[in-house]
Every structure is written in C-alpha cells, then in structure tokens.
Structure 1
Amino acid sequence: MKILFVISSLSHGGAERVLVNIANTLCLKHKVSIATFSNTDSFYPLDEKIQHMCLDLLKPSHTIVETLYNSLRRFFILSRVIETLDPDIIISFMTHTNIIALLAAKWTKRKIIISERITYVFYSSWTLNLIRKLTYPLCDYLITQTHEDAKKYSFVKNVMIIYNPIVVSSDSLSHQKEKIILAVGRLDKQKGFDKLIMAYKLLSSKDDWELWIVGEGCERDALEKQISESNIQNIKLLGIQKNIFDYYAKASIFVLSSEKEGFPNALLEAMSCGCACISFDCPCGPAEIIEHGVNGILVENQNIEQLAEWMQVLMENDSMRQDVSQKALKVTKKYAIESIIQQWEEIIQRVYSK
C-alpha cells in the first residue's frame, strides 16, 4: 500500500517525532512518503526507504490576503503532489495542515486520515474553529490522542483514539540516576517553565539538586532573566538536544508544567526511562497516563505551591521516588510502538477497504 504523510515540518517537536516513529515502522510493510510544507530535512532519523519531499511552502503571512494566497498555494501544490504519487491513503498531522490536506484529498478524490496533536481548546480563533467544523467531517477518520479530547469532535462521524508510541533505547535504562529534575519542551508560555522555576525557587532544600530544562523557543530571554533575578545557580537551559533519552536516563525526577497539552510525549518518555514524574493535571493527557500516587503525581493545574511541595517530597523520600519510578516503567508495555502500530494498521485497512 502507498501511504503519504503530510505535516508542516519535521522539526524537533513531539508531533514530528511521533510521525517519524510511525512512518519508520510502517515503511517496513508499505511504500511510505512524507510531504512537508517546510524546506528543511527531518530533525529525527528517517528510514532510507522513505521519500521525503520538502515543498518549501512556509511563507510568512502578514495580511488576510497573504494568508489566503499562501493557503491556496499549499492546496494546489499539495494536490499536484498527491496526483503524482497516487497514494492509497493520506495521513495528515496537526490542525492547519489537516485543513489543507483534507481539501486537497477531496479535490483529488483520495482517502484521508487526519490526526490532531493538540487539545481541541488550544486554539481560541473563532474563524479557525469554524473552518475546522466545516472541513473535518470530510475526513474518512479522525485520530485523537485522548478520550477527553475525542468528545469535543461530535461533528465528525468517525473518530478513534490512538495514543502516542514509545520508542526507547535499552541504554536509557542502564544509567545511574542523578539528583536532576528534568523538564522538556518548547520554551513558550504554554509549557509553563516560568511556573516550574517559581516552584523550584520555593523549595526549602535544593542545594545538591539541579533543574535542567531541555528545549528552545521564544521564551528563552524571559526565562534567563527570571533565573538571573531569582539568583539561583543550579538551573540550566540546555537548548535542543538530539540525544534526549540520555537526559531522561540521568534524571531522577521529571516535571510537566504545561497549561495544556494534546498528549504529552515527554511525560511518556520520562516514565519509560524510570523518572519519578510530577505533572499538572492539565487538559489533556496527564490524567490518562498517571495514576496519582502510584506511577506518578498529579498536581492541581497551575498550582505552583502544590507543585513545589511534591517536588520536595520526591527529592527527600528516596523509597517513594524509587517506587514511583519502578511503577512508571510499566507504561512501556501499554504504549509500545508494536501495539500502537497495530492500531494504525487496523484503521488504515479499514479506510482502504471502504
């Protein structure tokens, strides 16, 4: 079967990592291509059997006219790519790309599965939500990442929940844990790293623990200023790291401080590497992954004082930290790539056979 994935780019994000993991596994049985609107190569390693087409269509839009022009250009060029490749199934990732890919698929009379990678309420744009309600019913299937989010798509006939897969190197489980609290993600407001730093500052005892934040983004300057003004020496902003699992392997505690999520890959990855994890109970995802007090800790969303309290508890209580860490490892079986790919294969065959 010929499968075409469509996504804005294959940069260093969670959705991009998931797509690459799925594509690298599907290409063992199918002919897989990936079309991206960006002009850059994949940040994550792609199997050499996969054809990656960089369409160079990510032009900035400063006005409504430019937005319309750039959208139409993406639609027509993607339509030509679809006609050239003649895929049996198109799989699109992320909201804006889903809309363009849906219209192109219907124009070229191809079957399409669209996949949402962020919670439905992430976007506040009335126009975008209207367009989504008008176009999403055209899909053959919509994949969401959580049961909570699936309920939001009552206007779509066929909706299926498929969790993100975990692909973990065995080396990640062989490292000695260190006194490191780790956070991973884009440096933007949604990820709440400013609140994590506030919570870290509240800790009564932290001299021998370090806070490492891996990621890059528009909030770097603001976070550097906050760290400087807090006069805390043991916080590190480490930028983008390709060998992210080396950091999970070293960290004893992982914190997810996001205001909202689609399905937090970083949380799953940290748990699969034996980190004792603390997460704000934000929409959506953490509550479907963490059983509070068993394989992790759920904290009232954006409650900085409560976050600091639980960080202190895990830092000081070695036996509890190790117990939570060991039970967190069990997510590896539930979210293993083999299990998740089987679900993708089933939905692909269902759509193909329609």
Structure 2
Amino acid sequence: MNLGLFLSVSDSLTKQTKTGQLERLIKYYLQPYSEKFNQIYLFTYGDIGKKFSLPKGVTLVPKPKFIPIFLYQLILPFIHFKTIKTIDVNRVFQAPGGLPAVIAKIFFRKPYVVTYGYDYVRFTEIEHQPLLTFAFSLIVPLVLHFADKIITTYKNSLKDYQTISIHNAVDPRVFKPGKNPKEKYLVLSVARLVNQKDQQKLIKIISLSKFKDKIKLVIIGMGPLQKKLQNLSQVLKVNLTIIPNVSYTQLVAWYQKATVFCLTSIIEGQVKVLLEALSTGCACLTTPFIGNMTENNITGLIGANPKQLARQLDRLLSDSKLNFTLGQQARRLVIEQFDLIKMIQKEIKLLQSC
C-alpha cells in the first residue's frame, strides 16, 4: 500500500528545519509510516534541489520553482499524475492544504484522510488576513466535504461532519521531568509572536504579579510582533527575553527548568507546546481556549483576564506543593491520553482502512 502525504500550505522540510520540527516529523511520522507502507510520497511547498536524510521508502516531491503556491495546489495532481496514480491513500496534515487531495480524488479516485485541527478561518481573522480568511472559508468546507475520513483532535470541533478523534500528542519518554531543581521565578512561553497568541496579555499578567521584580519571562518563538512585545515589556518594566525557535528536543530543558509555563492565546486547537509542558510536569497557566486539555485546579490553572491570571500565577509561584501536584497530575494525563506513539499507530490503522 502506497501513501501520499500533503504538508500544510507553504510548509516544507526546509522550513521545518528552521523551526526545529523536522526531527519530530521524521521520528514520529515518517519512520512509523515507512514501516507500514511500501512507498511514501511527501509533497512539499519548497525543497527543490535540497537533500534530506529520510527513512527508506520515503520520496520527497518538492514544488518546482517559479510556480505560485495556490496555482501549484491546483495543478499538483496533474504535474505528478504518474506518482498520484500509484498512491492508494493520501494524508492531508491540515485541512487548508487539502486542495491537491480533493483534485486527486475527483480525477483519479484517490481517497484521503484530513485533519481538522482548529478554526482556520477564525485564526486568519485574528491576524487581519482578509484574503486568507476568504480563501479558507471556501477551501476548508470543500476539503471536508470530499474527505473519506476526518480526524479531529478535540471534541465538538466539528458538529456537521462524521469525524474520528485522534488527539495531538507528544512523546512522554522525551518530554519528562528533569532531575535538577527548577529556576524559581522562570516563567516560560513557547509560541509564534502573533496576535492570536496574545503575548501582550502575558506581559501585562507579569506586570500585575506581586513577584514582578523577581520574574524572568522567556518566550521562545519568532514573529512580526517581536519589537512590539519588547517595547511593551520595557514600558511595564517586565524582564523579558525572546529566544528564536529551537529544536523540539532542546525545548525539553526549558520546560524542565521553568517553574510555570504560560499560554495566553485568544483561540487555540489542541496545542502541542502545552502538551509538551504538561508532559514534563511543568505547572501550566492558560486562558480558557476551546482546545484546552487542562482542567482548572486539576492539571493546571486557568484564568480569563489579566488580573485573574496574575492571581493564579502568584499561586503557582508561592505554593510549591500546588505547583508540584498540578505538574504530576498533568504528566499522568499526557501518559494516559496523549502518547504520540499510540496516536500514530491509531492513525496508521485509519489510513489502512481506506
């Protein structure tokens, strides 16, 4: 059985290398896939002329130069029709990237499985991207309509479609508690520096904390709001350090030494960085976004506004017993429900059933 893989729109192995995610893709997706499928064709939006160390049986199919991404989505199945004809089932990682799979199904009768991870249209609205909002409002329903199987990562994310639940997940064998003591007032966040992640709120929370003068806030991520966040931290006298993207394995050490992990997003799906923090036993503070897998006072603390979140943060910084207990219960949650190796095997069985 041969498998086709479609990365998210504009994604490539080159980009995943820069964001520190390529190792994760290979280890937890491509390697297990290669053990269950004869041939795997990985369609990306870049990588022409590049070489990567991929598992046996995985063939990289890069986007040709000079073809715009949207046009390429429409003509991909025809440019690579000899390859498409040999594929038994296609896997679309995120719904907005599913146009090639739709066309391959209509013209070549190739089934596909797609993930609906979050409200893509709402995300683009928050980022003030009207063209993408319009495009996704047309593309996503089309991709879902023609899909043979739809994976959702959390309950009630799609009410008008028949779906299969497969959680986002992490490897708790890698993301595990550290042996060294935590850095007492280190507050960590890992996210792109964009409106949707709302790090402005996080900086305001720190400024309202009674431990403000002791807290060291570290945000790992890149994005267009970096200068704005740095300026705000100076105005509010918050000790902020922004670190560019690091590999997913390097993140482990940061989660292990942070006393609190914060995620103050306006909207989220079932976000992987929160799972990573939970898995390491790091006490987590979040906003009540729809895909939140934490339960208030059980596996983390949740607050709706800066004042409430600041009070919750102070609890985590001052009550070491609470901090430890929440971290332990959070790790147990990940081991029981969000083990990546188990989730991938579930996904492979789903693909083989098409």
Q: Deviations over 1:148-207 (max 9, x none)?
A: 2122xx1x4x42121012124447423422221111111111111111011111111233
Q: Which residue among 284, 301, 323 is the counterpart of 1:297?
A: 301
Q: CA deviation at 1:247?
A: 1.1
Q: CA deviation at 1:4?
A: 1.6
Is 2:104 the partner of 1:104?
yes
The equivalent residue for 1:76 is 78
Gaps of 5+ in 2: 126-132
Contact 1:99–1:135 (CA under 8 A) maintained in structure 2: yes
CA gap of 1:335–1:135, structure 2 versus 1, over 3 A, is closer
Is 2:191 the partner of 1:185?
yes
Q: Deviations over 1:217-249 (max 9, x none)?
A: 1111211221222233x3110111111112112
Contact 1:150–1:161 (CA under 8 A) maintained in structure 2: no
The equivalent residue for 1:64 is none
Q: Which residue among 164, 167, 170 is the counterpart of 1:160?
A: 164
Q: Which residue among 277, 280, 289 is the counterpart of 1:270?
A: 277
Q: How does 1:225-264 map to 2 (within 5 A)?
A: 225-232=231-238, 234-242=239-247, 243-264=250-271
Q: Which residue among 30, 36, 40 is the counterpart of 2:44?
A: 36
The equivalent residue for 1:310 is 312
Contact 1:18–1:164 (CA under 8 A) maintained in structure 2: no
Partners of 2:49 and 2:310 in 1: CA distance: 40
Q: Deviations over 1:66-110 (max 9, x none)?
A: x5x454344533545423xx1211101223211232223332221
Q: CA deviation at 1:115?
A: 1.2
The equivalent residue for 2:217 is 211
**Secondary structure of the corresponding residue to residue 281 of structure 2:** coil
Partners of 1:109 and 1:87 in 2: CA distance: 10
The equivalent residue for 1:337 is 340
Partners of 1:187 and 1:48 in 2: CA distance: 36
CA gap of 1:74–1:224, structure 2 versus 1, over 3 A, is farther
CA gap of 1:41–1:240, structure 2 versus 1, over 3 A, is farther
The equivalent residue for 1:122 is 123
Give the TM-score of the pair, scaled to structure 1.
0.84
Aligned residues: 332
**Secondary structure of the corresponding residue to residue 252 of structure 1:** strand
Gaps of 5+ in 1: 62-66
**Secondary structure of the corresponding residue to residue 98 of structure 2:** helix
* Structure 1 vs Structure 2 CA RMSD: 2.8
Q: Which residue among 304, 318, 321 is the counterpart of 1:319?
A: 321
Question: Percent identity at matched positions?
Answer: 24
Bigger shift: 211-220 or 166-175?
A: 166-175
Give the TM-score of the pair, scaled to structure 2.
0.84
Partners of 2:227 and 2:82 in 1: CA distance: 42
The equivalent residue for 1:143 is 151
Q: CA deviation at 1:14?
A: 10
Q: CA deviation at 1:251?
A: 1.3
The equivalent residue for 2:129 is none
Contact 1:113–1:139 (CA under 8 A) maintained in structure 2: yes
